């Protein structure tokens, strides 16, 4: 039994059940917690004594040129190197298939000598079309905010701090459209990191790159402001110094990953649910109560200083204010009970799903028990051998335990969508099956439909047969049989059908983005949305100082109401 399995068993009685946690509408209400990748990366950096600084700047008056940052981490040296240009507004796109960006950057390990600079200048701006080596750990690219970059430059150039009324709803200066790593395009794979490497944790390299990218956005704005007005220009000060995050746009590419990696998804959710179980099952101290109240007040202020811009099917900040205030009122009623968190969650279950998931996120802030384990808990073994010698009798029980939920889905709505690889970019797309035939490019994420087919076969055949005999007779079932065994943990399967006509990708996307540490979910269609990363987080120069704290999530707008 692995450590994650042990912790799940140890906390079993207090865990929320999978059929509740994995419901689409609940995944679509997920919020970042202290175990999100952005938060664990920053805590790890501070605990490990990391230091970071800008070491190279070569920019013209419009912010075009090169910038490099150095990160010293546990005996390793990393550089984040960015190449910047200006593009006309018509060339800006959130699409991953763009071929030009205003920012193209890479996180690399080691020193930057002339030969390395030459190689990076040639290849990084070309991103996936460049030639990269294992010294390159992550690639990213994106653009400046069309709405806010020039406005913020003008504001600082005039010697002023931003006006909350003019900042808008995004909370970022630049945005990214992709973070590539893990062996793509010749870069180092995750398995290529030694066990004691400071980036030997899931997504650690990507989020170090994202944190440096966010730092770049501040530095370029301030540079352009200084060029325009010299000593008269202001720098971001006070809460404005950390308010802006890094924007990101995410589409259908997230969905196949979640359906193809059930044991990874289980680990992500299990860490959160174990932390929640430990908090809710204990009688809180006065410190715990005060900490929860601090986070609840911060959430209310964060939403109240947000916008009322439509976020359908999610709720806008303005719509979340009464929900958060109702939580505070209920807390006043139950806060002095012996098990107040349990009572609050029971109440929330009768409210909007956003109420319960907000409470979950705030309660997880009280848990510190997994801090030293979380990196290891998220490294999972994904290969689970199929037991083809298993009898149909036992297979039926496995199926009922692990996939009984597929019976609740609308079979008539299944296989409406076909998830395929696009011809030009090999990126995920979905198309109606009645409009196109793309068998060779099928992504194979029709998990619910495949498992329903397997269940029907198991019900129809002789109970004394084995799974091996069934697969030999019907080889098209091999993937479903393999999934029956791979899905051996409680939180790996979204209770949804990605091929259904009513399927809404945004719900699973929001869950994944929350786990990354993103917030401010702004859907732009049923298939893609914009978010913000590291909003409110400390800056690179804060490492090793009192400003490097973990209470930065849910930042309020500086200056109050927009």
Task: Print the SS3 string covering 299-332.
Answer: HHHHHHCCCCCCCCCCCCHHHHHHHHHHHHHHHH
137, 205 contact by CB (below 8 A): yes
Out of 225, 251, 277, pick the residue that ends a domain.
Answer: 251
19-28, 180-189, 388-397: segment of lowest average pLDDT: 180-189
Of 346, 303, 350, the C-alpha closest to 324 is 303
6-20, 161-175, 273-287, 473-487: segment of lowest average pLDDT: 161-175
Say how far apart CA 538 and CA 31 lie, in whole Å.
20
- Mean pLDDT for 237-261 is 93
Of 518, 546, 521, the C-alpha closest to 534 is 518
323, 285 contact by CB (below 8 A): no
Portion of the chain with pLDDT greater than 90, in percent: 83
Planar angle of CA 538, 540, 545, nearest 5 degrees: 70
Asked whether residue 67 is domain-assigned, the answer is: yes
The DSSP bridge pattern shows strands 103-109 and 76-84 to be antiparallel
Q: CA neighbours within 13 Å on the CB side: how many for 4?
A: 23
Name, of 112-121, 417-426, 520-529, the range with top average pLDDT.
112-121
174, 145 contact by CB (below 8 A): yes
Residue 49 CB partners (closer than 8 Å, separation 6+): 74, 544
No. of H helices and E strands in the chain?
Answer: 21, 11
Which residues make beta-bridge pairs with 248?
176, 531
Asked whether residue 14 is domain-assigned, the answer is: no
The pair of structure tokens assigned to 497 is 């059908």
Say how far apart CA 154 and CA 172 lie, in whole Å.
16
Q: Is 387 helix (H, G, I), strand (E, B) or coil?
A: coil
- Mean pLDDT for 405-413 is 92
Q: What's 130's DSSP letter?
A: S
pLDDT tens for residues 3-62? Answer: 999 999 999 999 999 999 999 999 999 999 999 999 999 999 999 999 999 999 999 999
> Element (H or E) spanning 58, and its range?
strand 51-59
Say how far apart CA 432 and CA 452 lie, in whole Å.
20
- In Å, how far from its chain's centre is CA 481? 30
Out of 486, 502, 522, pick the residue that ends a domain.
Answer: 486
Of 374, 334, 342, the C-alpha closest to 277 is 342
Asked whether residue 290 is domain-assigned, the answer is: no
In this model, does residue 107 exceed pLDDT 90? Answer: yes
Asked whether residue 435 is domain-assigned, the answer is: yes
Q: What's 125's DSSP letter?
A: G
pLDDT tens for residues 219-229? Answer: 999 999 999 99
In this model, does residue 329 exceed pLDDT 70? Answer: yes
In this model, does residue 561 exceed pLDDT 80? Answer: no
Say how far apart CA 409 and CA 312 lie, in whole Å.
24
- Token pair 């069934």: residue: 470
135, 106 contact by CB (below 8 A): no
Could you tell me the strand order of the sheet in which 51-59 lies? Answer: 51-59, 65-73, 76-84, 103-109, 136-144, 172-181, 245-250, 529-533, 518-523
27-36, 196-205, 439-448: segment of lowest average pLDDT: 439-448
Given its phi and psi angles, is residue 379 left (phi above 0), alpha (psi -120 to 50 degrees) or beta?
Answer: beta
Residue 137 CB partners (closer than 8 Å, separation 6+): 78, 106, 107, 108, 109, 181, 187, 188, 199, 205, 209
Asked whether residue 422 is domain-assigned, the answer is: yes
In this model, does residue 424 exceed pLDDT 70? Answer: no
- Mean pLDDT for 448-475 is 95
Asked whether residue 494 is domain-assigned, the answer is: no
Mean pLDDT (the chain) is: 93
pLDDT at 562 (0 to 100):
47
pLDDT at 430 (0 to 100):
86
- Helices 262-280 and 478-486: crossing angle in degrees, nearest 10, is 30
Domain limits for position 74: 37-251
For 128-132, the CB contacts below 8 A with 24+ separation are 128/180, 128/184, 128/185, 130/185, 131/186, 132/106, 132/185, 132/186, 132/187
Asked if the peptide bond before residue 39 counts as cis, ω within 30 degrees of 0, the response is no
pLDDT at 439 (0 to 100):
64
The pLDDT-based confidence of 391 (bands split at 50, 70, 90) is very high
Asked whether residue 469 is domain-assigned, the answer is: yes
CA distances from 171 to 162, 244, 245 (A): 12, 5, 6
Say how far apart CA 19 and CA 482 lie, in whole Å.
22
Say how far apart CA 558 and CA 550 lie, in whole Å.
19
**How would DSSP label each residue in 462-493?**
-TTSBHHHHHHH-GGGHHHHHHHHH--STT--
User: For the chain, how many residues are written?
Assistant: 562
- In Å, how far from its chain's centre is CA 535? 14
The pair of structure tokens assigned to 181 is 């790593």
Q: Count structural domains, the chain.
A: 2
> Element (H or E) spanning 347, and its range?
helix 340-348
pLDDT at 34 (0 to 100):
97
Asked whether residue 260 is domain-assigned, the answer is: no
- Token pair 């990214």: residue: 176
Out of 228, 251, 274, pick the residue that ends a domain.
Answer: 251
Residue 197 CB partners (closer than 8 Å, separation 6+): 76
């Amino acid at each position: 039994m692995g450590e994650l399995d042990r912790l799940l068993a140890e906390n079993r009685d207090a865990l929320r059940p999978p059929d509740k946690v994995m419901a689409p509408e609940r995944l679509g209400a997920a919020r970042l917690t202290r175990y999100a990748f952005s938060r664990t990366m920053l805590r790890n950096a501070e605990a490990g004594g990391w230091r970071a600084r800008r070491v190279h700047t070569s920019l013209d008056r419009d912010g075009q040129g090169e910038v490099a940052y150095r990160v010293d981490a546990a005996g390793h040296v990393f550089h984040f190197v960015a190449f910047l240009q200006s593009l006309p507004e018509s060339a800006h796109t959130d699409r991953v298939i763009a071929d030009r960006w205003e920012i193209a950057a890479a996180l690399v390990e080691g020193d930057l000598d002339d030969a390395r600079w030459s190689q990076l200048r040639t290849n990084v701006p070309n991103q996936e079309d460049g030639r990269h080596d294992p010294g390159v750990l992550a690639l990213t690219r994106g653009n400046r905010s069309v709405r806010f970059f020039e406005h913020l430059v003008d504001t600082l150039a005039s010697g002023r701090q931003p006006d909350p009324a003019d900042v808008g709803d995004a909370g970022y200066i630049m945005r990214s459209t992709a973070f590539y790593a893990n062996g793509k395009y010749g870069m180092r794979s995750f398995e290529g990191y030694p066990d004691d490497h400071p980036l030997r944790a899931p997504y650690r390299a990507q989020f170090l790159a994202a944190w440096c990218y966010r730092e770049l956005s501040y530095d370029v704005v301030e540079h352009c402001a200084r060029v325009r007005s010299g000593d008269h220009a202001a720098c971001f000060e006070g809460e404005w110094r950390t308010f802006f995050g890094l924007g990101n746009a995410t589409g259908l590419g997230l969905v196949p990953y979640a359906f193809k990696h059930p044991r990874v998804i289980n680990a992500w959710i299990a860490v959160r649910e174990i932390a929640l179980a430990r908090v809710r099952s204990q009688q809180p101290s006065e410190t715990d109560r005060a900490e929860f109240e601090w986070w609840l007040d911060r959430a209310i202020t964060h939403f109240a200083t947000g916008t009322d811009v439509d976020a359908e099917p999610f709720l806008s900040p303005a719509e979340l204010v009464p929900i958060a205030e109702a939580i505070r009122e209920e807390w006043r009623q139950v806060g002095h009970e012996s098990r107040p968190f349990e009572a609050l969650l029971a109440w929330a279950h009768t409210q909007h799903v956003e109420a319960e998931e907000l409470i979950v996120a705030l309660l997880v802030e009280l848990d510190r028990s997994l801090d030293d384990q979380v990196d290891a808990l998220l490294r999972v073994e994904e290969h689970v051998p199929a037991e083809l010698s298993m009898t149909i009798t036992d297979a039926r029980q496995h199926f009922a335990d692990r996939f009984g939920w597929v019976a609740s889905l609308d079979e008539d709505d299944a296989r409406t969508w076909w998830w395929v690889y696009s011809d030009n970019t090999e990126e995920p797309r979905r198309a109606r099956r009645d409009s196109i035939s793309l068998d060779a490019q099928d992504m194979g994420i029709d998990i619910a439909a495949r498992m329903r087919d397997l269940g029907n076969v198991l019900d129809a055949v002789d109970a004394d047969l084995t799974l091996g005999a069934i697969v030999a007779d019907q080889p098209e079932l091999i993937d479903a049989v393999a999934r029956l065994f791979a899905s051996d943990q409680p939180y790996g399967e979204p209770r949804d059908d990605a091929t259904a006509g009513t399927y809404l990708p945004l719900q699973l996307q929001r869950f994944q983005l929350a786990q990354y540490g993103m917030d401010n979910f702004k859907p732009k269609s049923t298939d893609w949305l914009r978010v913000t990363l590291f909003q409110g987080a400390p800056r690179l120069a804060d490492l090793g100082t009192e400003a490097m704290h973990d209470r930065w999530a849910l930042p309020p707008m500086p200056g109050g109401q927009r």
